[in-house]
Amino acid sequence: MTAPSLTALSVMSLLSLGYLSQDWTGLNQVEHEQPSHPRPHIIFIMTDDQGFNDIGYHNRDIHTPTLDKLAAEGVKLENYYIQPICTPSRSQFITGRYQIHTGLQHSIIRSRQPSCLPFDLRTLPQRLQEAGYATHMVGKWHLGFYKRDCLPTRRGFHTYFGSLTGSVDYYTYKSCDGPGICGYDLHEGERVAWGQGGRYSTHLYTQRVRKILAAHDPSSQPLFIFLSFQAVHMPLQSPRGYIYPYRRMGNVFRRKYAGMVSAVDEAVRNVTYALRKYGYYKNSVIIFSTDNGGQPLFGGSNWPLRGKKGTYWEGGVRGIGFVHSPLLRRRKRVSKALVHITDWYPTLVGLAGGNVSWMDGLDGYDMWETISNGKESPRLEILHNIDPLYNAARHGSLKNGYGIWNTAVQAAVRVGDWKLLTGNPGHGDWIPPQILGNFPESWWNLERHTEERKSLWLYNVADDPYERYDLAERRPDVVKQLLARLAFYNRTAVPVRYPSEDPRADPRRNGGAWGPWEGGEENWEAFYLRKSKVKKRKPKFCKMKSFFRRLNIRMMSNKI
């Protein structure tokens, strides 16, 4: 190990300069100069479970010519962080706040949970509406829907077309939340969009975006589109034509997964073509982001990073991201600036001409000058999360945390180049791409149980991006200062909101579809629209009890 990895204290030696001893109790104050151009059209594209190694410019085995070209002509964000699972990333994108400030710091919002984004928070699309934007969302929501007030059309989007739950079949739009608890999940606005079965969701969502672009006048009103693909989340489904170029991949899961990535690439090509055709492109900003790390067991790859989806290792929280726009002043470059998914909120509101400097509670920073001009990032640290409900580490204690922090609690923070993890951060494997057809099951346990007695890790992720050299014992001074940051953040946290499942959510009680089930006097027949016809078409309830369905359920119930 090199000497710099032991001594480098990251950005201007922040720790030794007393950075952490400053009074950082105030909330972020973000200011933005008025743009010199008309308010741009904003297209934010998010993929689901796409790993760090699952794009062409990180891995030549994956064919993504459109994404590669857009990234190469724009700004690649190579120090970009998201959250390890779906709901947390989406909630932080749409609110600009860490999970600990929304009550969503534990797990995801499940289909039967009476939970959603806090109603007192102004969302990104609501702020863009206030700035005069037409706002549209297409794709996966996964931010709760037990009440109508939770739906995308009540949280800032003029229109919505997509699925409300976390995972659906790509063709039938059936979604299951446990054995036998299944229903249809495709919605148009606040109604169920029956009759769309058989159409591949990536194609269906792309077609809807193109329709929105064709119908809107780009010269009359700025446009914000949040295109939230369900791809490449399991189930692994793709038209055969996309899989064929990968026919020489021995691993079937990896082959299907790669085909799904290529389908997304084609979809992005069609969207960018429409932007040019209908006159949006010259005044547009296209942002591409994944929501969390890849899941190797279902074809994804984060190699050479450590960990996977659902973990706080780099493979779970370091994401693919880039910005493409004719409005960028310095293009065709790679940015190493520290960027987090919460930063999109103030950045996009600022681009829209809004002023967020007076807003309390934002954890994001305006990154436009950093991305467009290459200026230094205003962000110096990231709270990855503090989850007091996650399974406590058996060997963690307040004593192990120097009396500052209980290391049994799952938490992770990055300050400058230093990253600290406590509790149980998830399985810390280094998993190479699954190219073998008979991938040995024992490989999943590569280094999984080698550190089971630990509850504290420290890495310099600038010198050691693969997290192989734990410096916790050699740098107790740094450990103590980062533990103090966790303690500070924890004092600002709101209570965790993770209610029990509500049996009234069962689609069998609601016309065979997922949707709001709590709302007093509202007319639910209008929501379900074809309830009587569903009775004639006896719903096909989920019968999948295979290894993969059970594994996915376990994975998303804190068994990661």
Q: Which amino acid is at 163?
A: S
Q: What values do phi and psi take at 26, rounded to 5?
A: -75, 155
Cβ–Cβ contacts within 10 Å for residue 162, how many?
27
Instruction: Kindly tell me the sign of the dihedral angle through the C-alpha atoms of 165, 170, 172, 177.
Output: negative
Q: Which amino acid is at 547?
A: F
**Residue given tokens 């409005």 in the structure block:** 327
Cβ–Cβ contacts within 10 Å for residue 190, how many?
17
Q: Identify the bridge partners of residue 182 per DSSP, sorted by sequence position.
A: 176
182 is catalytic: no
Angle at which helix 65-73 crosses helix 252-277, to 10 degrees, equals 50
Q: Minimal CA–CA distance to 392: which of 377, 410, 405, 376?
A: 410
Query: Residue 314: which H helix or E strand, with range?
Result: helix 314-317
**Residue given tokens 């190479």 in the structure block:** 432
Rounded to whole angstroms, the Cα distance separating 216 from 237 reads 32
DSSP state of 221: S
Q: Residue 337, by phi and psi: left (phi above 0), alpha (psi -120 to 50) or beta? A: beta
Rounded to whole angstroms, the Cα distance separating 536 from 533 reads 5
477: CB partners within 8 A, 6+ apart: 15
CB 404 within 8 A of CB 478: no
Rounded to whole angstroms, the Cα distance separating 493 from 499 reads 18
- Taking the CA atoms of residue 153, residue 157, residue 159 and residue 163 in that order, the dihedral angle to the nearest 10 degrees is -70
Q: Which amino acid is at 7?
A: T
Rounded to whole angstroms, the Cα distance separating 511 from 540 reads 12
542 is catalytic: no
Q: Residue 17, by phi and psi: left (phi above 0), alpha (psi -120 to 50) or beta? A: alpha
Q: Minimal CA–CA distance to 165: which of 144, 192, 190?
A: 144
SS3 238: coil
Catalytic residue selected from 142, 187, 216, 384: 142
Cβ–Cβ contacts within 10 Å for residue 389, how many?
13
CB 224 within 8 A of CB 135: yes
Q: Which amino acid is at 450?
A: T
Query: Do you find a cis peptide bond into 235, omega within 30 degrees of 0?
Result: yes
Task: Give the tokens for residue 517.
Answer: 């089930």
Catalytic residue selected from 32, 63, 86, 187: 86
Q: Minimal CA–CA distance to 157: which of 179, 174, 133?
A: 133
- Residues serving a catalytic function are 86, 142
